[in-house]
């Protein structure tokens, strides 16, 4: 039985193939079409619908020189992105300008482009930002202990902020950064000013030593140090940053406090308008005025000022709060007007409407400016 079954499985396919070949069935099932190409005819090209466009070959899709690498592709892609987006400044795009003990950084790029990178410098350096106004280009850090405010010492700064008694210092500092369009088109000027406090022993109350914080003079050395740190952060080497700061020799400047024919007080700066504009702006930052707005084309700074003589009975913090919104502070807005006189520049203090101020306050404001600018 097994032998018969095997024989049947072999014989059946043979008989089937024989029958198919004899009847021409294979020819009908698998006809020979090798010569069909001779019968073809050329037809017209397909029309592209009017709402579609053909895609030409683009150089961006071609591999040049017969080879390509992932790193090369990424480099080319990044180059194209940089060309169409924001380009970070290079050390060659930075320079330092100086006027006496005031220095500022001139960097290639508009203020809106430079702002984010300059702002990140303070955060990466461990500072807290107490207030900022990107539209005005002003940023102010929080107070920090002097011994832990060195950029890069983030761990100590963090510990000091969370556990205030972990590190103690009798000195505290804060910094104000201001960005402004440069005198040269396509540049931004970065100003950094310093404010300081010092702790003073006041007396004992129930065996407890009490202290108060009093202002101390701004430190131009710390301002220069922060400018150097920012240059390094933006890509300059420490040696290059130090060279830029030391290559600029302080230039003497002079100021004269006088009166016009109608008795209006005026501060005369023996400088051109662009130079005087920078000097006044830095000084306003140093003496802690709140600059609400500025119009360089009109030569006007809009500031809020609270006469310190009216605050003698107030605490120290309220004395510093020139920008306070408390109505009891009676903070008044003034215009500090700069007028171009060629070789000299006149500085006047006007009221909020741009009119001559008849009170003694303009004399006090101009005296504060004079003490810094003479």
Q: What is the pLDDT of residues 196-210, one digit of tens each?
A: 999 888 776 667 778
- CA dist., res. 280 & res. 257, Å (int): 14
Residue 244's φ and ψ, nearest 5 degrees, are: -65, -40
Cβ(191)–Cβ(178) below 8 Å:
yes
In our burial notation (b when 16+ CB lie closer than 10 A, e otherwise), range 134-163 reads: eeebbbbbeebbbebbebeeeebbeebbee
- CA dist., res. 224 & res. 193, Å (int): 9
Mean pLDDT of the 318-335 span: 58
- CA dist., res. 304 & res. 332, Å (int): 6
For 79-120, give the DSSP string. Answer: HHHHHHS-----GGGEEEEEETTEEEEEEES-HHHHHHHHHH
Band (234; pLDDT cuts 50, 70, 90): very high
Residues with Cβ < 8 Å from 110, sequence gap 6 or more? 181, 186, 188
DSSP-based three-state secondary structure for 364: helix
Mean pLDDT of the 221-247 span: 90
Helices marked H in the chain: 2-22, 25-29, 70-84, 111-124, 154-162, 220-233, 238-247, 273-286, 316-320, 361-373
Q: Which CATH class is domain 89-249?
A: alpha beta
- CA dist., res. 96 & res. 227, Å (int): 9
Band (47; pLDDT cuts 50, 70, 90): low
CATH number for the domain whose boundaries are 253-374: 3.30.310.170
Mean pLDDT of the 263-273 span: 91
Cβ(117)–Cβ(134) below 8 Å:
no
Q: What is the pLDDT of residues 144-161, one digit of tens each?
A: 988 544 444 544 455 444
- Considering the chain, what percentage of its residues have pLDDT values greater than 70? 60
The mean pLDDT of the chain is: 74
> What are the sequence ranges of the domains in the chain?
89-249, 253-374
Q: What's the pTM?
A: 0.54
Cβ(341)–Cβ(308) below 8 Å:
no
pLDDT at 340: 95
């Amino acid at each position: 039985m097994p032998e018969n079954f095997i024989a049947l499985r072999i014989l059946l396919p043979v008989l089937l193939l024989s029958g198919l070949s004899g009847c021409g069935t294979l020819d009908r099932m698998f006809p020979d079409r090798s010569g069909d190409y001779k019968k073809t005819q050329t037809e017209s090209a397909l029309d592209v619908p009017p709402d579609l466009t053909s895609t030409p070959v683009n150089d961006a899709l071609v591999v040049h020189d017969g080879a390509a690498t992932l790193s090369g592709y990424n480099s080319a892609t990044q180059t194209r992105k940089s060309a169409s987006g924001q380009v970070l400044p290079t050390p060659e795009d930075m320079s330092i300008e100086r006027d006496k003990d005031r220095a500022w950084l001139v960097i290639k790029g508009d203020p809106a482009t430079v702002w984010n990178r300059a702002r990140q410098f303070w955060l990466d350096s461990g500072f807290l930002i107490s207030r900022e106004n990107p539209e005005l280009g002003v940023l102010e850090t929080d107070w920090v202990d002097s011994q832990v405010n060195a950029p890069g010492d983030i761990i100590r700064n963090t510990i000091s902020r969370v556990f205030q008694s972990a590190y103690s210092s009798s000195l505290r500092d804060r910094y104000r950064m201001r960005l402004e369009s440069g005198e040269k088109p396509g540049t931004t000027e970065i100003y950094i000013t310093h404010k300081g406090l010092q702790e003073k022993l006041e007396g004992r109350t129930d065996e407890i030593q009490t202290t108060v914080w009093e202002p101390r003079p701004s430190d131009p050395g710390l301002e220069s140090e922060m400018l150097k740190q920012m240059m390094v952060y933006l890509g300059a080497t420490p040696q290059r940053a130090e060279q830029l700061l030391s290559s600029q020799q302080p230039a003497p400047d002079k100021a004269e406090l006088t009166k016009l024919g109608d008795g209006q007080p005026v501060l005369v700066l023996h400088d051109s308008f662009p130079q005087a504009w920078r000097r006044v702006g830095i000084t306003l930052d140093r003496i802690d005025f709140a600059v609400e707005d500025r119009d360089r084309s009109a030569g006007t700074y809009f500031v809020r000022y609270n006469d310190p003589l009216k605050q003698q009975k107030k605490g120290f913090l309220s004395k510093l709060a020139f920008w306070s919104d408390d109505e009891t502070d009676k903070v008044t807005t003034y215009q500090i007007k700069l007028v171009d006189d060629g070789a000299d520049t006149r500085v006047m203090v006007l009221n909020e409407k741009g009119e001559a101020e008849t009170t003694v306050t303009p004399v006090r404001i101009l005296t504060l400016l004079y003490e810094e600018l003479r």
